[in-house]
Amino acid sequence: MTVSISFFHYESNKFWAFKQMVESRKFFLGNDNLSFYKMLGTGGKGGFIYPDLNVYSLLCVWKQPEMINDFIYNSTHAKEIASKAKKRVDYIMEPIFSNGLWDNLNPFKVNSKRTIDKKNKVGVITRGKIRLTKQIDFWLNVSSVSNAIKNADGVEFYKGIGELPFLAQATFSVWKNHKSISDFAYKNKAHSDVIEKTRKRRWYSEDLFARFEIIDIKTQEF
């Protein structure tokens, strides 16, 4: 199993980009090469309270990794993106840890026999479906950990992503190596405090945490 997460950057055609949250499903429904996919909006100002209408994201879980390059460069979807976007960045990853659920399943199956190179970059996806009754409490607390991640040693990229504004939110971050994320997870007080509050206050009706070894990063400018 291989996972790709793509970010499409727009300087114009922003209404077209927004519509792709629904219209691009035609490229993925019934696609036998995919076991899971999500079209995602992104957050601005380093989090996800404010939408970033310049950037959209696509998460795909591939049954056949050899299909990824063709999808990124040659597919009808790729050609549409190239004609409308200013840039796209694709992170190609393999899951090394995944705990929790996304739409009642864990889409990231870990190959326990795979050898992990501790020097490689690490991608992290956190996702939570926020209970309606916990909205205010959650949003009053979440900014501290977002700021902590953005400013942490070893973070090379951080973006809020999500399916439904305020209700189903996620983050994607890229870390320099395994040590940098371990140091943050165990030594950062803001992160530890939010993890503790998450357990005690039961903010989420469903959540997921996954780590990935980043195999490749592909950038195209149009």
CA 171 to the chain's CA centroid: 5
The predicted-structure confidence for 85-110, as pLDDT tens digits, reads as follows 999 999 999 999 999 999 999 999 99
pLDDT at 132: 80
Tokens of 109: 């199956």
Please give the Cα distance from 117 to 213 (Å, whole number).
Answer: 8
Please give the Cα distance from 144 to 159 (Å, whole number).
Answer: 15
With residue 182 as reference, give the H or E element that holds it: helix 178-187
| Cβ atoms within 10 Å of 46's Cβ, excluding its own | 17
Nearest to 60 by CA among 101, 82, 31: 31
% of residues, the chain, pLDDT over 70:
88
pTM exceeding the 0.85 threshold for the entire prediction: yes
Over range 178-201, report the average pLDDT. Answer: 74
- Tell me: pLDDT of 121 over 80: yes
Q: Cα dihedral angle (90, 91, 92, 98), rounded to 10 degrees?
A: -140
CATH of the domain at 192: 3.30.70.100
Spatial contact of 59 and 3, defined as CB atoms under 8 Å apart: yes
Please give the Cα distance from 82 to 216 (Å, whole number).
Answer: 20
pLDDT at 201: 75
Range of the domain at 215: 2-221
Check residue 111 and report its DSSP letter. Answer: -
Tokens of 54: 């310049």
How many folded domains does the chain comprise?
A: 1
